[in-house]
């Protein structure tokens, strides 16, 4: 596969009181289009990643909203896979371009979450879990806390081990003006933050955020005609698993991550050691630890060493989440998967400013829906 990323744009992530969902979709889309040099009329398809617009904005039918924003009549499709909506929108666009159906497509992911109270948004997010989990009174921190508890039991890991992930990601975010929390935090602050769902504390959890990100993708031949030097998506892999944690074969891994990663590396004809940087789905600190293991970068049970030893910090052997990740850059759920592609491309093009990974040629993105019911992995190369 070789799908060109002609351009990418991320809005500021955060509590964007004066921006509606439509404002965010429009900003990301128009900015990405501008950078690509294409006009709206040249677009052949639009894919929108979003999870919660019906609940947070009373708005369905986002495909038509995109048609309205851009003033176009080509196919515009909304994709939903919980927090993997953005990544899946990218994957669907890659499929469509790869099949030859379209020469180019705009992919935009957006979420407007801060108009709801914490209780309302927690409830809405549980739409990504199963009915029994909802009825049991679980929330997403609770679900990932169960994974953390199982991990601690098996591998004698500690809260400190998780806290290093948050510290690292905040350091990265302090170098990212688009991040929701562009400031560093200390291990002590993480350890003293309020307990949300044991062992996860407030600073182990990604925030509620507004934001959008967009990319313009095209076939290789289209990019060549336009004479634009671009990174290429060389692998796009998706895997599914049970909606519910109780149906999983093991709580020590996200099987869908492992399966998607295997397919992605095979498709790209690359190995783990070829990856120079990664944007992983750290909805909670434990999620980054599991991702590092399930993607094959670390042995099972050793993922906690990564942040502790600065191996996944900028300058380390595999920088992870240079954007600040979900924890510190923010997690507008539908936008995250697209933002990960934007960040990787910035890094590969040498345009990441103070958070630039040296000599980055290949990046990997990992986007998860729910507790691992959907996982999408992309590999991007320049």
Partner 1 sequence: MINFKEFTKVGIVGYGAYVPYFRLPTAVVAEKQGKDTAVVDSLCVRTKSVAEKDEDSLTMAVEASLQALAVAAVEPGKIGACFVGSESFPYAVKPIGTILAEILGIGNDYFCADLQFACKAGTAGMQIVAAMIESGMIDYGLAVGADKSQAKPNDALEFTASSAASAYILGNKKSEWLACLEGTLSYSSDTPDFWRRNGEHFPEHAGRFTGEPAYFRHVLSSSQNFLKATKTKPINYNWAVFHSPNKKFPEKAAKILGFTPEQLKYSLLVEEIGNPYSASSLVSLANVLDNSKTNEKIFLTSYGSGAGSDSFSFKTFPALLEKRRFKQKLSETVFLSKAIDYSEYLKKMEIL
Q: Tell me the closest approach of the beta carbon of residue 118 to partner 1, in angstroms.
A: 7
Size of the site for partner 1 (CB under 8 A): 10
* Stretch 186-205: interaction string toward partner 1, x if CB under 8 A: -------xxx----------
Q: Does residue 104 contact residue 218 with C-beta atoms inside 8 Å?
A: yes
How far apart, in whole angstroms, are the C-alpha atoms of residue 64 and residue 81?
A: 19
Active centre residues (catalytic): 83, 331
Q: Tell me the closest approach of the beta carbon of residue 209 to partner 1, in angstroms.
A: 12
Stretch that binds partner 1, among 13-21, 71-79, 234-242, 270-278 (CB under 8 A): 13-21
Residue 319 has which token pair?
A: 């920088």
Q: Tell me the closest approach of the beta carbon of residue 194 to partner 1, in angstroms.
A: 5
Strands 232-240 and 211-219: unpaired
Q: Does residue 290 contact residue 303 with C-beta atoms inside 8 Å?
A: yes
Q: Does residue 148 contact residue 200 with C-beta atoms inside 8 Å?
A: yes
Largest CA distance in the chain: 57
How far apart, in whole angstroms, are the C-alpha atoms of residue 287 and residue 281?
A: 7
Is the bond leading into 266 cis (omega within 30 degrees of zero)? no
* Closer CB to partner 1, 99 or 194, in the complex: 194
Q: Tell me the closest approach of the beta carbon of residue 121 to partner 1, in angstroms.
A: 10
* Closer CB to partner 1, 118 or 131, in the complex: 118
Q: Tell me the closest approach of the beta carbon of residue 141 to partner 1, in angstroms.
A: 15
Q: Does 285 bind partner 1 (CB under 8 A)?
A: no
* Short-list 122, 86, 67, 65, CA closest to 368: 86
How far apart, in whole angstroms, are the C-alpha atoms of residue 86 and residue 333?
A: 8
- CB-based contacts of 295, cutoff 8 Å, min separation 6: 257, 258, 261, 272, 278, 280, 364, 366, 377
- Show contacts with partner 1 in window 18-37 (CB under 8 A): 18
- Show contacts with partner 1 in window 118-147 (CB under 8 A): 118
Q: Tell me the closest approach of the beta carbon of residue 115 to partner 1, in angstroms.
A: 8
How far apart, in whole angstroms, are the C-alpha atoms of residue 364 and residue 378?
A: 6
Neighbours of 226 (CB within 10 A): 16
- Show contacts with partner 1 in window 103-122 (CB under 8 A): 114-115, 117-118
* Closer CB to partner 1, 195 or 269, in the complex: 195
Q: Tell me the closest approach of the beta carbon of residue 290 to partner 1, in angstroms.
A: 28
* Closer CB to partner 1, 115 or 274, in the complex: 115
How far apart, in whole angstroms, are the C-alpha atoms of residue 72 and residue 82?
A: 27
* Short-list 20, 103, 111, CA closest to 69: 20
* Closer CB to partner 1, 205 or 341, in the complex: 205
Cα 174–chain centre separation? 19
- Show contacts with partner 1 in window 242-271 (CB under 8 A): none
* Closer CB to partner 1, 32 or 208, in the complex: 208
* Closer CB to partner 1, 17 or 315, in the complex: 17
How far apart, in whole angstroms, are the C-alpha atoms of residue 56 and residue 311?
A: 38
Binding-site ranges for partner 1 (CB under 8 A): 15, 17-18, 114-115, 117-118, 193-195
């Amino acid at each position: 596969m070789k799908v060109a990323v002609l351009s990418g744009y991320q809005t500021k992530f955060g509590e964007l009181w004066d921006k509606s969902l439509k404002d965010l979709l429009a900003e990301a889309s128009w900015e990405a289009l501008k950078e690509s040099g294409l006009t709206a009329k040249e677009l052949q398809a639009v894919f929108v990643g979003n999870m919660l617009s019906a609940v947070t904005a009373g708005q369905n039918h986002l495909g038509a909203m995109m048609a309205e924003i851009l003033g176009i009549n080509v196919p515009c499709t909304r994709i939903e896979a919980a927090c993997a909506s953005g990544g899946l929108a990218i994957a669907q666009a890659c499929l469509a371009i790869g099949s030859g159906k379209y020469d180019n497509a705009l992919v935009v992911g957006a979420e407007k979450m801060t108009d709801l109270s914490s209780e309302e948004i927690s409830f809405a997010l549980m739409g990504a879990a199963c009915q029994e989990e909802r009825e049991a009174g679980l929330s997403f921190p609770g679900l990932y806390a169960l994974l953390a508890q199982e991990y601690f039991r098996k591998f004698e890991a500690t809260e400190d081990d998780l806290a290093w992930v948050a510290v690292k990601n905040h350091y990265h975010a302090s170098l990212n003006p688009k991040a929701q929390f562009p400031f560093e935090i200390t291990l002590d602050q993480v350890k003293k933050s309020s307990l949300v769902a044991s062992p996860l504390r407030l600073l182990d959890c990604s925030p509620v955020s507004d934001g959008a990100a967009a990319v313009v993708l095209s076939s290789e031949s289209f990019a060549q005609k336009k004479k634009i030097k671009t990174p290429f998506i060389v692998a796009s892999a998706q895997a599914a698993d049970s909606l519910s944690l109780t149906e999983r074969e093991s709580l020590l891994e996200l099987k869908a991550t492992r399966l998607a990663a295997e397919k992605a590396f095979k498709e790209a004809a690359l190995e783990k050691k070829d990856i120079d940087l990664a944007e992983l789905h750290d909805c909670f600190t434990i999620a980054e630890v599991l991702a590092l293991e399930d993607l094959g970068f670390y042995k099972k049970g050793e993922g906690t060493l990564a942040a502790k030893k600065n191996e996944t910090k900028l300058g380390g052997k595999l920088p992870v989440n240079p954007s600040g990740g979900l924890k510190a850059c923010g997690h507008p759920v539908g936008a995250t998967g697209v933002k990960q592609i934007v960040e990787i491309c910035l890094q590969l093009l040498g345009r990441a400013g103070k958070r630039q990974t040296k000599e980055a040629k290949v990046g990997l993105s990992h986007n998860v829906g729910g507790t691992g019911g959907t996982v999408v992995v992309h590999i991007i190369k320049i």
